[in-house]
Amino acid sequence: MRTTNWMVTAALLVSLSAAAQQAANSQSPAPASAPDASQESQSSRQTAAAQPAPPPASQPADVQSAPAAQPLPAPAPAPTTMDDVVNLFSQHEHGLIKMLAKRTPIVETYLQNLALDPQLGPVPNEDHYFLGRMDMGETIDRKDYLKEEEKSMQQRLMGGFQRLYKVQYQPLGFSWMVYADRTDFDRNHYEFRYVRREFLGDVRCLVFDVTPKKDAGRGRFLGRLWVEDQGYNIVRLNGTYYPAPRNSYFFHMDSWRLNLIPGYWVPSFIYSEEGDFSAGAKNKMAFKAQTRIWGYDLKRGNKDDELTQIRVDSVNDETPANQDASPLQAERVWQQQAEDNVVERLVGGGLLAPEGDVDRILQTVVNNLEVTNNIDLPRPVRTRVLLTSPLETFSVGNTIVISRGLVDVLPDEASLAAVLAHELAHIVLGHNLGSKYAFNDRMLFSDDTTYQNLGFRHIPEEEEAADKKAVELLKNSPYAQKLDNVGLFLKALQARAPALGALLTTHLGNPLASNGTVTRLAALATQGPALDNSKLDQIAALPLGGRVKVNPWDDKAEMVKTAPVAITSARDKMPFEVTPFFPRLNRYGASALPAAAPTTAAASPNSSTPGSN
Ligand SMILES: [Zn+2]
């Protein structure tokens, strides 16, 4: 009875997060002593690819745009006792709840169910994906971007467990994941015990253990929290809720906040994990999940203002003065208009990062392909980052879009070039002529229906032609000698594809795999060595979250700076897997400083420097 009638309370769903997960790769604190075997080339690739355009620090823009609308919390007198500190951070918690009450950020949860593999440890055997808009007002609520709108997020998140557990969702579970306790976070309901001081990244914190008082009621926070020692704001929560109502169960979580605007630490991501794989354990439920929140500052985050008008002021009429546009010129301007409309709409809906540093790196790779293949297009090819986790690329007009999740898992620059080459091939072959989005009425829809209103899929014949052309482009490129790495990546993807249906479900472009079989660039899939988990220096694919970090306030994406971490067993590889978050915290305005020790580029076997071949 216990097994079948368990109720799982969906505290997991709500929350959040996103930004700086360098820890994804550096989860085990092994010293970075073995660059050759290390989980490699993100730093070197970044360095290599970024050469032509060293990204300027993005601070000034942040400073100007982010804080303007937020009232600063009133400065409090310095606390003299730990009781003062408790009073301060519980006050500030309520201030944060108030400040965010009108925000409707994007919330994405990606969950992998786990099964035990004797060699690799717990590995994903099934996955689930949720994307929605969270209304952080009085009653926390959400709207989903995905299609099964009639089913709410919590129902679908729990859907994967229904065979084992009957599920009950408690509305408060949502806010619990973002805040410690939305209504009663005070000394009447909790005991706060000071533990010690501790640094999280660059931020010195006071650590408290928190236990609900006996009569405080059900579902109270139980665990530990970290409070930064200047403004006395909570920056991290780690624990669960207690006591659970009868027949229900709360997940464990590790919830992180970032100092994205002056005076506030904003909920940014949550890691959840359940499962006991020790000998003799009765494994009731095993999963790990990352929740990312972003889009706090979306211009149309206001729920009263969901229909949006897209301006087309970015289209320049390129015809020389005193000349009328020729029919061909008119056609091109028209296509550019469609492309610009879509890009702007996706940025406005919180799905596409604003133009930024990562684009420059992607652009470099595309340029490498173009130059070596003598591709000369009437309009330049641009690149942008989709902020979501599922592995996907698409192109609209001359803009190539690649998802954050896909950039994360690609092992090296050649593999990045390969997935970009497919989209470049669509452009070169003239497959992207669809210009229906040049009509502005087609941009007028609410954000949560984006996936129903936009789509950039090609017919199978075009997919095949693009793959063929992509291989041609790659073979003429600086990546020609590295295609074994691409083959290895495709093999790793194939090995996990049957278990990762949600990660491989695309929402705007063509899928990389269908029915568990990888179809993208199949001609390269046989290339290179066999996949061998026991070879520690064979890094075919990376965990999620290791390359790109997103600022949850303004959605800007940048490359993560991580030091290489030695891989010591096959279990360290974790291709395509979810890992805990462990961001390097720093205070607002301080992030222009290097967040992590700059790593020596070059040393990795998988790295490739464009032009060095
Ligand atoms: Zn395609």
For residue range 477-526, what is the model confidence (pLDDT) as tens digits? Answer: 999 999 999 999 999 999 999 999 999 999 899 999 999 999 999 999 99
Mean pLDDT of 76-85: 85
The pLDDT, as a whole number, for residue 235 is 97
Distance 512 CA to ligand 1 centre (A): 9
Question: Could you count the other beta carbons within 10 Å of the beta carbon of residue 59?
Answer: 13
Distance 235 CA to ligand 1 centre (A): 42
Asked if 229 and 587 touch (Cβ cutoff 8 Å), the reply is no
Mean pLDDT of 348-371: 94
Mean pLDDT of 357-378: 95
The pLDDT, as a whole number, for residue 328 is 84
Residue 35: is the preceding peptide bond cis (ω within 30°)? Answer: no
Paired with 200 in beta bridges are 203
Most confidently predicted of 207-216, 473-482, 571-580, 595-604: 473-482
The pLDDT, as a whole number, for residue 189 is 92
Picking from 526, 521, 478, 488, the residue whose alpha carbon sits closest to that of residue 411 is 488
Distance 592 CA to ligand 1 centre (A): 37
The pLDDT, as a whole number, for residue 557 is 94
Most confidently predicted of 90-104, 171-185, 265-279: 90-104
The pLDDT, as a whole number, for residue 247 is 61
Distance 309 CA to ligand 1 centre (A): 29
Q: Maximum distance among all alpha carbons in the chain?
A: 82
Q: Give the E-state strand segments of 53-137 in sequence order.
A: 106-117, 121-135
The pLDDT, as a whole number, for residue 308 is 43
Picking from 514, 613, 593, the residue whose alpha carbon sits closest to that of residue 202 is 593
Q: Residue 447 has which token pair?
A: 């954000």
State how beta strands 264-274 and 7-9 pair.
unpaired
Mean pLDDT of 334-353: 90
Indicate whether 563 pLDDT > 80.
no
Mean pLDDT of 55-80: 53
Ion ligand 1: residues, CB < 5 A: 458, 463, 466, 510
Question: Could you count the other beta carbons within 10 Å of the beta carbon of residue 166?
Answer: 14
Distance 396 CA to ligand 1 centre (A): 11
Whole-structure pTM value: 0.79
The pLDDT, as a whole number, for residue 432 is 83
The pLDDT, as a whole number, for residue 70 is 64
Paired with 144 in beta bridges are 132
Question: Could you count the other beta carbons within 10 Å of the beta carbon of residue 328?
Answer: 9
Distance 352 CA to ligand 1 centre (A): 19
Distance 416 CA to ligand 1 centre (A): 15
Distance 398 CA to ligand 1 centre (A): 13
Tell me how far apart the alpha carbons of residues 140 and 55 are, in angstroms, rounded to a whole number. 38
Across 164-173, 203-212, 573-582, least confident range:
164-173
* Tokens 């994406």 belong to residue: 557
* Tokens 């063929």 belong to residue: 468
Q: Rg for the chain (alpha carbons), in Å?
A: 24
The pLDDT, as a whole number, for residue 366 is 97
